A and B are shown apart, each in its own frame.
Chain A
């Protein structure tokens, strides 16, 4: 069983829709990252969370440590938001480095 599970795997939505991507993990973590990977490969860290909620522009990330769950929300989605969104966690007590979900492939249609 994967330690980090994302849902949905694929999501197609219309421009302007509110988007939610979910991440559940089964192990203890010290931090969680949401990453964005555009076609062509580059990866950008959007947020690092250890508790609560963070907001940057149209992106909002939340984490519930007790429920081992995080969500990434995109408000007023736009075609340029089309990308793969990856949840990654830093395990407590384990090797350094991140453990990754398999990603959510988001397509926003005009």
Chain B
């Protein structure tokens, strides 16, 4: 199994629909992150979580929500998708401060029509 698994890998949806992107990890890391990648803008932080009770907004959290269902699972929701949320989304995990491990999922490409 991959260290960090994202589902779905590709999704096309319509404006106004609710979308959930799921992430699970096998690394046992406490820290999990959702990033968004746009051409010319690079990666930007949406939300991050230190544990199931600790959720924090990142740079671009408006229009998104997250849930940390367990140490290994961190999902990102778009309650009402809009076209400018079309992007490549990455989940990542980190052991920050221990061995400096950082692992990314393969990405979820979302298109909002």
CB within 8 Å of B: which residues of A?
31, 33, 35, 41-45, 48, 86, 88, 90, 95-103
Taken together as a complex, chains A and B put the C-alpha atoms of A41 and B105 apart, in Å, by 9
Contacts of B58 in A (CB 8 A): 95, 97
* Given A41-B88, A96-B50, A102-B41: A48 touches B102 (CB 8 Å cut-off): yes
Taken together as a complex, chains A and B put the C-alpha atoms of A38 and B42 apart, in Å, by 14
Check B31 against A103 for contact (C-beta < 8 Å): no
Would you call B56 an interface residue if the criterion is a C-beta within 8 Å of the partner chain's C-beta atoms?
A: yes
Count, chain B residues at interface, CB 8 A: 26
* Given A33-B102, A48-B102, A97-B58: A42 touches B107 (CB 8 Å cut-off): yes
Residue of B nearest to A97 (CB): B45
Would you give the shortest CB distance from B58 to chain A, in whole angstroms? 6
Q: What is the predominant secondary structure among interface residues of chain B facing chain A?
A: strand
Taken together as a complex, chains A and B put the C-alpha atoms of A44 and B101 apart, in Å, by 11
Contacts of B88 in A (CB 8 A): 41
Q: What is the predominant secondary structure among interface residues of chain A facing chain B?
A: strand
Taken together as a complex, chains A and B put the C-alpha atoms of A48 and B98 apart, in Å, by 12
Taken together as a complex, chains A and B put the C-alpha atoms of A42 and B44 apart, in Å, by 16
CB within 8 Å of A: which residues of B?
31, 33, 35, 40-45, 48, 50, 56, 58-59, 88, 90, 92, 96, 100-104, 106-107, 109
Contacts of A98 in B (CB 8 A): 33, 43, 45
Contacts of A101 in B (CB 8 A): 42
Contacts of A96 in B (CB 8 A): 31, 33, 48, 50, 56, 96
* Given A97-B58, A100-B42: A45 touches B107 (CB 8 Å cut-off): no
Most chain-B Cβ atoms within 10 A of its Cβ — which of A33, A43, A97?
A97
